[in-house]
Amino acid sequence: MIDRLEAFIITERDRYPTRENNIFAIALSDVLAYRQFLGLIQARLLAASAAYANASTAFSDSVRGHSGEMTAVQMQLIGRLPVLGVALRLEIESFYLFAKILLDEAARFLEYYFGQVRGTPLDSHDDLVKGWAEFCRQHGIDAAPEFDEGAGSLKKDIADFRDYQIAHHKNPRTLRHFTFDATGVSRMGLSAIYPTENDRQVESKATHDLLTAIDSHLENVLSIIQANRQRSRLLRAPPARL
């Protein structure tokens, strides 16, 4: 997707007048930059996940069949887990934070490209999910139904998790723990101590699955631009003064 975005910017920008050509490239380059950020975070996350999983497995293996006081090696292993857990949590939460920014930037790019609609802003991905149908209606945009469906899934899986479990998390009784699949990919679980009937355990999604969904969404954004160029506000830009 990074290569796709870079190539799209190069080939698409020259369809527009000089001023809009440059702004188009800069605006879409912000989307590209955040996608590059996610690639860097994903690589760091995989390393942090492997380090935590290896230490956790080594400790579990060391206590299997063992009785009595912990050995020096066991003490060292269990002492490393909180430090490794902080690094892993940092990468998981960073992925969600920057993924949400990327989605917001993509929504704002669509608004810039086609123009604002009164009462239906696309200032965030949440706005896009709520107002996309009306935005398309007023601009006469032809968009496949799967765009709306994919955007809704990303709101639930990324934007809502980022909002309620990270950026605006409020429960002081929350414990975080990590689970791993067969390939060592980690997820962060959140549960509450002294639970009440209103408490719910939640878990992050595997970031490689989220990245696949994000790339599909970005591909749909590019397809919408290609299919609806004639409706772009950039082609209605006033001619430059001589």
Residues 110-161: pLDDT tens digits?
Answer: 999 999 999 999 999 999 999 999 999 999 999 988 999 999 999 999 999 9
Evaluate whether residue 67 is within a structural domain.
yes
Evaluate whether residue 242 is within a structural domain.
no
Evaluate whether residue 122 is within a structural domain.
yes
Evaluate whether residue 241 is within a structural domain.
no
Range of the domain at 11: 2-236
- Dist. CA 224–CA 128, nearest whole Å: 14
Cα distances from 96 to residues 50, 70, 89, 161, 190, in angstroms, run 19, 37, 11, 8, 15
pTM of structure: 0.92
Which residues of the chain, if any, have pLDDT below 70? 184, 236-242
Q: Which two tokens stand for residue 94?
A: 């960073």
How many separate domains does the chain show?
Answer: 1
Evaluate whether residue 179 is within a structural domain.
yes
Evaluate whether residue 41 is within a structural domain.
yes
Evaluate whether residue 166 is within a structural domain.
yes
* C-alpha dihedral sign at 121, 18, 216, 162: negative
